[in-house]
Amino acid sequence: MTGLRATLAYVLRQPSGAVGLVLVAVHLLIALAAPFIIPYDAATQNAAAILEPPSLTHLFGTDRLGRDVFSRTLLGGREAMLISTLSAICAMAWGSLLGIVVALAGGLLDAAVMRVVDAMVAIPWILLVMLFVAALGSSTAALIPLLGFSYGLSVVYLARSAALDFVARDFVLAAQVRGESRWTIAVKELSPNIRDSLAVQGAMQWSWIFLAVSSLSFLGMGVAPPTPDWGQMIADARGIMRTAPWTVVWPMVFLSSLIIGVNLAVDAWAKALGIERLGRTPQS
């Protein structure tokens, strides 16, 4: 707990880190409170209020179906956040475990697994996910394992690389001499030593997955209507950007501010832990 407080204090002392944490905190609060504070039902259409500009009645204006943009914008990140969180957990869980195991095993198993991962990474993530979405549908239950698998491939690289730095250390060799199983060594000896690197990577995976969900929604294969989603709202407003810019500006502001906030916070967090943050990985 002391280490966590020290890390948080360091992040808050960095202007960029403080801004990032504030942005993330605001978005989390909005996501939690949105169902209780929105003035209109987000799915209700009003033919008498189509494309109204921002006013006291509709703070962010209305869209081409007369729906309140303010209500839809506040709710627009909830489903994507849920999908991103569960997908990131899935990606980090299986990717970290596999990366650590193959690093510890080495030899033929390591080579075989990594060649398979290389082959999967060679397929663009958007194509891979689109193929599965076309076959299985774009429900939340389908998107979570699909994105978790796709983004977990890059985690395998990181976990393996980080674990390889420790597999030849004395404490690992001592555990092997004691006859401990590979599973025990992976969990008790290797995982604690690469935990910080994986945690930082997990936070970045979350932001990349969130962008992926928004991109899929923009293409009509993500969060399904009538559930509001920022990517979906931007796609719906493409044809009326000049005449009704408020329909696209607000979801773009909320989407970009969340991603910027996560990146700023993670950058400061990585510096606090003395970790060099990775750029976008092959499947990101």
pLDDT tens readout for residues 23-76: 999 999 999 999 999 999 999 999 999 999 999 999 999 999 999 999 999 999
* pTM as predicted: 0.88
Average pLDDT in the 4-22 region? Answer: 87
**Range of 118's domain?**
14-35+65-273
pLDDT at 201: 87
Q: What is the dihedral of CA 186, 188, 191, 194, to 10 degrees?
A: -120
Is 219 part of a structural domain of the chain?
Answer: yes
Asked whether residue 280 is domain-assigned, the answer is: no
Q: What is the pLDDT of residue 142?
A: 81
Q: Does the pLDDT at position 279 exceed 60?
A: no
Q: How confident is the model at residue 284 (pLDDT cuts 50, 70, 90)?
A: very low
* Per-chain mean pLDDT for the chain: 87
Q: Is residue 1 part of a domain?
A: no
Q: What is the pLDDT of residue 180?
A: 79
Confirm whether 47 is domain-assigned: no
pLDDT over 60 at 283, yes or no: no
CATH number for 101? 1.10.3720.10
**Within a domain: 224:** yes
- Residue 237 reports pLDDT greater than 50: yes
Q: Is residue 7 part of a domain?
A: no
40 in a domain, yes or no? no
Confidence of residue 136 (pLDDT cuts 50, 70, 90): confident
Burial code of 75-99, b = ≥16 C-beta within 10 A, e = fewer?
Answer: bbbbbbbebbebbbebbbebbbbbb
Is the pLDDT score of 2 beyond 70?
A: no
Give the tens place of pLDDT for each residue, 168-225.
Answer: 787 888 877 887 777 788 878 888 888 888 888 899 899 999 999 998 899 888 888 8
Taking the C-alpha atoms of residue 113 and residue 101, their distance in angstroms, rounded to an integer, is 10
Q: What is the reported pLDDT for 177?
A: 80
For residue 280, pLDDT over 80 is answered with: no
Q: How many domains does the chain have?
A: 1
Q: Which of 94, 88, 90 shows the shortest CA–CA distance to 206? A: 88
Q: Does 226 sit behind a cis peptide bond, omega within 30 degrees of 0 on the bond before it?
A: yes
What is the structure's pLDDT at 236?
Answer: 92
Q: Which residue has the higher pLDDT, 281 or 19?
A: 19
Using CA atoms of 224, 230, 235, 240 in order, give the dihedral in degrees to the nearest 10: 130
Residue 174 carries which side chain, given as an amino acid letter?
A
Report yes or no on 192 lying in a domain: yes
CA quadruple 148, 151, 157, 162: dihedral, nearest 10? -70
